[in-house]
């Protein structure tokens, strides 16, 4: 799956995730079923749409808790045949619900499993690839020193700034670690302390 990871989202923004298949080689498939999960604490499912091809026969999309259930197959009346081509299968739209980081992925294990099927109904087990981390922030304004991403540099950012000095590998918050790079050298070191102090009190326009 792809989508959502290359931009900033604020609460109520739309998040679009595309379910697709690729890299089948010579293996042709006739249908698929998928069980997609999301974190309702960070995002809310809004709606989903199937693509018209390569699979034009659709079972209505349904939602069970935080699981989205999809299933579709070739429509012979529309001239569709089993295919091995890379293709988008469905577009899922979410709404950012609250500040946090989440991934849209597949329910594993699940019975029945997420899988593709060939023309004889035999399963073709895919490699399941979730989205990358999707970050929802209180403000998408990029402000050096704003360690909690609330659109302002205040005393509330100090403890997080100090935590950022421990290095990116130790940073576990949704707000970008490099917001602590107040000196502009693409790193976070003790050289950022004085520049950080200097920007306390700044806000997003």
CA 81 vs CA 39, 55, 121, 178: distances in Å: 35, 9, 14, 49
Contact criterion met (CB below 8 Å) for 4 and 131: yes
Residue 5 has pLDDT above 60, yes or no: no
Read off the pTM: 0.75
pLDDT in tens, 101-118: 889 999 999 999 999 999
Fold of 139-205: Type 1 dockerin domain (1.10.1330)
Which residues, 6 or more positions from 8, have their beta carbon under 8 angstroms from its beta carbon? 135, 137, 140
So what's the pLDDT on residue 6?
55
Would you kindly state where each structural domain of the chain is located, as residue ranges? 14-136, 139-205
Least confident segment among 6-10, 59-63, 112-116, 147-151: 6-10
So what's the pLDDT on residue 137?
80
pLDDT in tens, 7-50: 678 899 999 999 999 999 999 999 999 999 999 999 999 999 99
* Assigned CATH for 14-136: 2.60.40.680
* Of 36, 33, 18, 39, residue with least CA distance to 86: 18
């Amino acid at each position: 799956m792809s989508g959502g990871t290359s931009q900033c989202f604020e609460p109520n923004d739309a998040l679009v995730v595309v379910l697709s298949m690729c890299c089948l080689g010579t293996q042709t498939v006739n249908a698929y079923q998928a069980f997609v999960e999301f974190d309702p604490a960070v995002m809310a499912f809004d709606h989903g749409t199937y693509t018209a091809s390569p699979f034009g026969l659709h079972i209505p999309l349904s939602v069970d808790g935080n699981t989205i259930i999809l299933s579709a197959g070739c429509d012979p009346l529309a001239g569709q045949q089993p295919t091995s081509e890379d293709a988008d299968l469905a577009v899922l739209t979410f709404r950012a619900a609250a500040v946090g980081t989440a991934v849209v992925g597949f329910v594993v294990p699940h019975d029945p499993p997420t899988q593709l099927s060939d023309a004889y109904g035999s399963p073709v087990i895919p490699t399941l690839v979730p989205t990358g981390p999707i970050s929802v922030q209180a403000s998408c304004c990029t402000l050096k020193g704003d360690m909690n991403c609330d659109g302002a540099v205040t005393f509330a950012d100090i403890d997080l700034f100090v935590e950022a000095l421990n290095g990116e590998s130790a940073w576990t918050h949704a707000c970008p670690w490099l917001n602590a790079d107040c000196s502009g050298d693409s790193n976070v070191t003790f050289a950022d302390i004085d520049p950080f102090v200097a920007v306390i009190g700044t806000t997003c326009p």
